[in-house]
């Protein structure tokens, strides 16, 4: 086994606007660094091998899975987690409000990842079609909702009018 105590590089990342420094073991993922070292437990870990998307965060402006990045790889990165998406006083973001309104969650475990992915999707494509929403969220799994409420939430957040069945008009 490799010696894990010698020459561990220091990591400096900006998380939700705050500079965080640490010396995580190289095999520690960014997700575990955020949860254990930064005590930001809003980022959830489901599958831990790059399928479910619950751990999705913003890294240098793009939605990425924090379970598939070692913390040491994030040196110098600008990171926003789910905790950084609501206002400092706790006011929910447009996407979070829409998820609430549209019942876009049940157990809530996958929700932080979905909120990040939806926020990224709507930033790049403010008025997505159904197909674009489904493609844009294809890296996130939800086992409760059947996705209908989530898709409706995207439409509400995008300012599209929707009926009770989530169909846009």
Nearest to 136 by CA among 121, 146, 155: 121
Question: How near is the Cβ of 55 to another protein at its closest, in Å?
Answer: 9
Site for another protein in 58-77 (CB under 8 A): 59, 62-65, 68-70, 72-73, 75
CA-to-CA dists, residue 21 to 11, 12, 37, 129, 131, angstroms: 5, 4, 9, 41, 41
Question: How near is the Cβ of 164 to another protein at its closest, in Å?
Answer: 27
11-15 and 78-80 strand pairing:
parallel
**What is d(CA 108, CA 125) in angstroms, rounded to the nearest whole number?**
25
The set of residues, in sequence order, having a beta carbon less than 8 Å from that of 98 and lying 6+ positions away, is: 104, 153, 154, 156, 157
Site for another protein in 73-102 (CB under 8 A): 73, 75
Residue 162 interacts with another protein (CB under 8 A): yes or no = no
Taking the CB of residue 69, how many other CB atoms lie within 10 A of it?
19
Question: How near is the Cβ of 26 to another protein at its closest, in Å?
Answer: 4
User: Which position among 9, 17, 126, 159 is part of the footprint of another protein (CB under 8 A)?
Assistant: 9
Residue 7 interacts with another protein (CB under 8 A): yes or no = yes
Count of residues binding another protein (CB under 8 A)?
Answer: 35
Residues found near another protein in the complex (CB under 8 A): 1-4, 7-9, 25-27, 48-51, 53, 56, 59, 62-65, 68-70, 72-73, 75, 117, 120-121, 134-136, 138-139
């Amino acid at each position: 086994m490799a010696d894990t105590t010698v020459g561990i590089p220091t990591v400096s990342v900006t998380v939700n606007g705050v500079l965080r420094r640490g010396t995580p073991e190289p095999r520690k993922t960014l997700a575990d660094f955020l949860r254990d070292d930064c005590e930001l437990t809003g980022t959830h870990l489901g599958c831990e091998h790059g399928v479910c998307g619950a751990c999705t965060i913003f890294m240098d402006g793009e939605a990425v899975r924090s379970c598939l990045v070692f913390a040491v790889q994030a040196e110098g990165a600008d990171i926003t987690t789910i905790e950084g998406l609501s206002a400092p006083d706790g006011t929910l973001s447009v996407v979070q409000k829409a998820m609430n309104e549209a019942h876009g969650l049940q157990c809530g475990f996958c929700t932080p990842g979905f909120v990040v992915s939806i926020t990224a999707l709507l930033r790049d494509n403010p008025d997505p079609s159904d197909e674009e929403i489904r493609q844009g969220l294809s890296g996130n799994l939800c086992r409760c909702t059947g996705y209908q409420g989530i898709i409706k939430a995207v439409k509400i957040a995008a300012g599209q009018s929707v009926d009770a069945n989530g169909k846009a008009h």
